[in-house]
Structure 1
Amino acid sequence: MKHIIIGTAGHIDHGKTTLIKALTGRETDTLQEEKNRGISINLGFTYFDLPSGRRAGIIDVPGHEKFIKNMLAGISSIDVVLLVIAADEGIMPQTREHFEILKLLNIKKGIVVLTKSDLVEADWLDMIKEDIKEEFKGTFLEDAPIHAVSSKTKMGFEELIVDIDKLTEEVEAKDTEGHFRLPVDRSFSISGFGTVVTGTIISGKVSLGDTVEIYPGKVKAKVRGIRVHDVPSELGEAGQRCAINLANIKVSEVQRGNVVAKEDIMEPSLIIDCKLYHIKTAEKSIVNRQRVRLYHGTEEIICRIIPLDKEEIKPGQWAYVQLRLEKPITAQRNDRYIIRSYSPMNTIAGGIIIEPNAKKSKKVTAEYLEELKLKESGKSTNILENTVKNLSDTYPDSLAILKSLGKNMDNIEEELKSLEDQGTIIRLGGQDNSIFIHKDFLKDKTKELKALIEDFHKKNPLKFGMSKEEAKNKIFTKKLKQKNYDEILNMLVEKKTLKVSEKFIALYDFNVTLNKEQERMKNFIINEYKKLKFTPPKYVDLAQGEKDRAGFKMVYELLIDKEILIKLNEDCTLLKEDYEEAKNKVRNYILENGSISAATAKEIFESNRKYTIAILEHLDSIKFTKRVENDRVMY
Structure 2
Amino acid sequence: INVGVLGHVDSGKTSLAKALSTTASTASFDKNPQSQERGITIDLGFSSFQVAAPKHLSDKFEFLHFTLVDCPGHASLIRTIIGGAQIIDVMMLVVDVTKGVQTQTAECLVIGEITCDLMLVVLNKIDLLPPQQKEISIEKMKKRILKTLEKTRFAGSPVVAVAAKPGGAENDGGEADGVDRLVDMLCQLVRVPERASVADPLLLSVDHCFSIRGQGTVLTGTVVQGSLSVGEVVEIAALKITRKVKSIQMFRKPIQKAIQGDRVGVCVTQLDPKQLERGIVSTPGHVTSTLLAIARVQRIPYFKGKCISGAKFHITAMHDTLLARVTFFSREPSSNEEAKSTAPLDMDRDYAWEPELEQSDAKVWFVLLEMEHPLLLHPGTLLIGSKLDMDVQGTACRIAFHGHVCRAFSEADDCRHSGALRVFKCKCKE
Q: Could you tell me how far apart the structure 2 residues matched to 1:124 and 1:316 are?
A: 40
Q: Does 1:76 align with 2:122?
A: no
Q: Deviations over 1:262-281 (max 9, x none)?
A: 12333322211112222222
Q: Does 1:325 align with 2:371?
A: yes
Q: Cα gap change, 1:20/1:174 in structure 2, threshold over 3 Å: closer, same or farther? A: farther
Quote the offset at 1:170 in angstroms: 4.0
Quote the offset at 1:368 in angstroms: 5.8
Quote the offset at 1:178 in angstroms: 1.4
Q: Does 1:88 align with 2:91?
A: no
Letter in 1 for 2:357: I
Q: Does 1:20 align with 2:42?
A: no
Report matched runs for 1:418-567 at 5 Å: none
Q: Could you tell me how far apart the structure 1 residues matched to 2:100 and 2:204 are?
A: 35
Quote the offset at 1:82 in angstroms: 0.4
Quote the offset at 1:155 in angstroms: 2.7
Q: Could you tell me how far apart the structure 2 residues matched to 1:282 and 1:206 are?
A: 39
Q: Could you tell me how far apart the structure 2 residues matched to 1:13 and 1:99 are?
A: 17
- For residue 199 of structure 1, the aligned residue among 221, 229, 233 is 221
Q: Deviations over 1:29-63 (max 9, x none)?
A: 11233234331111111111123222122110000
Q: Deviations over 1:282-310 (max 9, x none)?
A: 23211222122111111112211111231
Q: TM (normalized to structure 2)?
A: 0.79
Quote the offset at 1:217 in angstroms: 3.5
- For residue 207 of structure 2, the aligned residue among 179, 185, 195 is 185
Q: Is the 8 A contact 2:206 2:280 kept in 1?
A: yes
Report matched runs for 1:281-430 at 5 Å: 281-309=302-330, 310-314=354-358, 319-344=365-390, 346-357=398-409, 359-361=414-416
Taking only the aligned residue pairs, the percentage that are identical comes to 25
Q: Does 1:237 align with 2:292?
A: no
Quote the offset at 1:316 in angstroms: 6.9
SS at match of 1:98: helix
Q: Is the 8 A contact 2:217 2:272 kept in 1?
A: yes
Letter in 2 for 1:292: F
Q: Is the 8 A contact 1:57 1:229 kept in 2?
A: no
Q: Which moved more, 1:5-14 or 1:221-230?
A: 221-230
Q: Could you tell me how far apart the structure 2 residues matched to 1:329 and 1:320 are?
A: 18
Letter in 2 for 1:128: M
SS at match of 1:268: strand
Q: Could you tell me how far apart the structure 1 residues matched to 2:421 and 2:246 are?
A: 50
Q: Cα gap change, 1:167/1:290 in structure 2, threshold over 3 Å: closer, same or farther? A: same
SS at match of 1:161: helix
* Total equivalences in the alignment: 364
Quote the offset at 1:116 in angstroms: 1.0
- For residue 8 of structure 2, the aligned residue among 11, 16, 23 is 11
Q: Could you tell me how far apart the structure 1 residues matched to 2:271 and 2:50 are?
A: 34
Q: If you compute each CA radius of gyration, which structure gives the higher value, 1 or 2?
A: 1
- For residue 104 of structure 1, the aligned residue among 111, 114, 127 is 114
Q: Is the 8 A contact 2:222 2:263 kept in 1?
A: yes
Q: Is the 8 A contact 1:47 1:56 kept in 2?
A: yes
Quote the offset at 1:10 in angstroms: 0.6
Q: Is the 8 A contact 2:329 2:423 kept in 1?
A: no
Q: Could you tell me how far apart the structure 1 residues matched to 2:156 and 2:178 are?
A: 19
SS at match of 2:327: strand
- Which ranges in structure 1 are unaligned for 5 or more consecutive residues? 370-635
Quote the offset at 1:137 in angstroms: 1.2
Quote the offset at 1:342 in angstroms: 4.6
Q: Which moved more, 1:7-16 or 1:30-39?
A: 30-39
Q: Does 1:117 align with 2:114?
A: no
Q: Could you tell me how far apart the structure 1 residues matched to 2:309 and 2:52 are?
A: 52
Quote the offset at 1:233 in angstroms: 1.9
Q: Is the 8 A contact 1:291 1:302 kept in 2?
A: yes
Q: Does 1:209 align with 2:231?
A: yes
Letter in 2 for 1:90: G
Q: Is the 8 A contact 2:286 2:378 kept in 1?
A: no
Quote the offset at 1:15 in angstroms: 0.8
Q: Cα gap change, 1:30/1:175 in structure 2, threshold over 3 Å: closer, same or farther? A: farther
Q: CA RMSD in A?
A: 2.4
Letter in 2 for 1:313: L
SS at match of 1:200: strand
Q: Is the 8 A contact 1:281 1:315 kept in 2?
A: no
Q: Could you tell me how far apart the structure 2 residues matched to 1:175 and 1:61 are?
A: 28
Q: Which moved more, 1:193-202 or 1:6-15?
A: 193-202
Quote the offset at 1:363 in angstroms: 10
Aligned partner of 1:220 in structure 2 is 242
SS at match of 1:265: coil
Quote the offset at 1:172 in angstroms: 2.1
Aligned partner of 1:420 in structure 2 is none
Letter in 1 for 2:382: R
SS at match of 2:40: coil
- Which ranges in structure 2 are unaligned for 5 or more consecutive residues? 54-62, 167-174, 331-353, 393-397, 425-430
Q: Cα gap change, 1:273/1:157 in structure 2, threshold over 3 Å: closer, same or farther? A: same
Quote the offset at 1:8 in angstroms: 0.7
Q: Is the 8 A contact 1:73 1:185 kept in 2?
A: no
Q: Cα gap change, 1:276/1:117 in structure 2, threshold over 3 Å: closer, same or farther? A: same
Letter in 2 for 1:6: V
Q: Which has the bigger relative contact order, CA under 8 A and spacing at least 6?
A: 2
Q: TM (normalized to structure 1)?
A: 0.54
Aligned partner of 1:143 in structure 2 is 156
Q: Deviations over 1:304-323 (max 9, x none)?
A: 11112311124678731111
Letter in 1 for 2:2: I
Quote the offset at 1:226 in angstroms: 1.1
Q: Could you tell me how far apart the structure 2 residues matched to 1:322 and 1:366 are?
A: 10
Letter in 2 for 1:30: K
Aligned partner of 1:160 in structure 2 is 182
Q: Could you tell me how far apart the structure 2 residues matched to 1:356 and 1:56 are?
A: 34
Q: Cα gap change, 1:367/1:168 in structure 2, threshold over 3 Å: closer, same or farther? A: same
Q: Could you tell me how far apart the structure 2 residues matched to 1:144 and 1:339 are?
A: 27
SS at match of 1:329: strand
Q: Deviations over 1:367-406 (max 9, x none)?
A: 669xxxxxxxxxxxxxxxxxxxxxxxxxxxxxxxxxxxxx
Q: Could you tell me how far apart the structure 1 residues matched to 2:198 and 2:205 are?
A: 16
Aligned partner of 1:35 in structure 2 is 36
Quote the offset at 1:174 in angstroms: 4.4
Report matched runs for 1:121-132 at 5 Å: 121-132=134-145
Q: Cα gap change, 1:83/1:316 in structure 2, threshold over 3 Å: closer, same or farther? A: farther
Aligned partner of 1:48 in structure 2 is 49
Q: Could you tell me how far apart the structure 2 residues matched to 1:94 and 1:364 are?
A: 43
SS at match of 1:304: strand
Q: Could you tell me how far apart the structure 2 residues matched to 1:277 and 1:230 are?
A: 40
Letter in 2 for 1:112: V
